[in-house]
Amino acid sequence: MATILTLIADRQATTLSAAVIQRVYDAVQGRALDILSDGEAADISCLNPPDERAIEAALERLPIDAIVTKSRGRRKAVLVADMDSTIVTGETLDELAAFAGIGEQIAAITKRSMNGELDFAQALRERVGMLKGLRLSALEETWKGVQLTPGARELVGTMRAHNATTALVSGGFTFFTGRVAELVGFHVHRANTLIDDGEALTGQTGQPILDRYSKLEILRELAEARGVQMSATLAVGDGANDLDMIREAGLGVAFHAKQIVAREAKARVEHGNLRALLFAQGYRASEFTGA
């Protein structure tokens, strides 16, 4: 089966010029070219899977992502997206911890957990336990600082417009996923629950904890509910707890990810924003909606 090499430029840093496209086209022995967005994204059809080293050499270290997909079934019927450092720019638990004066301590644990150095559930319990007694007003203050990653609304809006099921699935907390899901337009959201006594956090979470295995199971459940194979799914995330669903999805994307995730993902977005996931499915910028 023919393959498609999609080039996506980080428009904040560079432009996908005709010269760059031609250089890559020649390097991979392209057979056809399709511009998806002037100066931003292009598809190059290839008879055989292109050599990654040839692509890297042709790009000459420019901030341009290169994603290879099969020519058939590019547009996915199910999207499962991580929240922290994926759909939103920060780590909500770390930001919440700043209100307790222990932001750096919790961020250090988060980093090790996302790098796969700690058991996720254990690390989550430890961090939440450190927040015992934090007033609920801190949750509202944290929410005020949450920022969407560029392209988040376009990704979800465009896939919804083309009848995809979209889910926000996070090892974080429903307080945030519910609001982010409503803001961005996800059909459903799943996450962990922070327990409180009506005034402050108790330092406990609801059970069971949603972890990396839960994310994979949710991806499978959504695919089954839609009656599609896993090849028709897209999963995106940045941390070790996203790795299982990224491995199994038809298009698994490591988004500005930790090394352990980037190394094993089928596709990587290291420079651009979430619009890249639409271009990787063959969408043109003129088809985007939800911005």
In CATH terms, the superfamily for domain 1-72 is: ACT domain (3.30.70.260)
Q: Is the pLDDT of residue 143 over 90?
A: yes
* Per-residue confidence (pLDDT) for residue 60, from 0 to 100: 95
* Per-residue confidence (pLDDT) for residue 29, from 0 to 100: 95
pTM, entire model: 0.95
Residue with tokens 């406990």: 204
Confidence of residue 1 (pLDDT cuts 50, 70, 90): low
DSSP-assigned letters across all residues of 40-82 = TEEEEEESSPPPHHHHHHHHTT-SEEEEEEESSS-S-SEEEE-
CATH number for 75-291 (one of 3.40.50.300, 3.40.30.10, 2.60.40.1930, 3.40.50.1000): it is 3.40.50.1000
Q: Is 82 a catalytic residue?
A: yes
Confidence of residue 146 (pLDDT cuts 50, 70, 90): very high
Q: Which of 220, 225, 168 is nearest to 191 (CA)?
A: 168
Q: Is 84 a catalytic residue?
A: yes
Looking only at the bridges linking them, the beta strands covering 3-9 and 194-196 are unpaired
pLDDT 10s digits, 30-74? 999 999 999 999 999 999 899 999 999 999 999 999 999 999 999
Mean pLDDT of 125-154: 96
The domains of the chain are located at 1-72, 75-291
Report the C-alpha gap between 12 and 141 in whole angstroms.
Answer: 30
Confidence of residue 269 (pLDDT cuts 50, 70, 90): very high
Q: Catalytic residue among 43, 84, 238, 244, which? A: 84
To the nearest 10 degrees (0 to 180), the angle between helices 152-161 and 174-184 is 60
**What residues contact 290, with CB distance under 8 A and at least 6 apart?**
153, 154, 155, 156, 157, 158, 160, 161, 185
Q: Catalytic residue among 10, 82, 94, 244, which? A: 82
Report the C-alpha gap between 206 and 270 in whole angstroms.
Answer: 34
pLDDT 10s digits, 167-222? 999 999 999 999 999 999 999 999 999 999 999 999 999 999 999 999 999 999 99
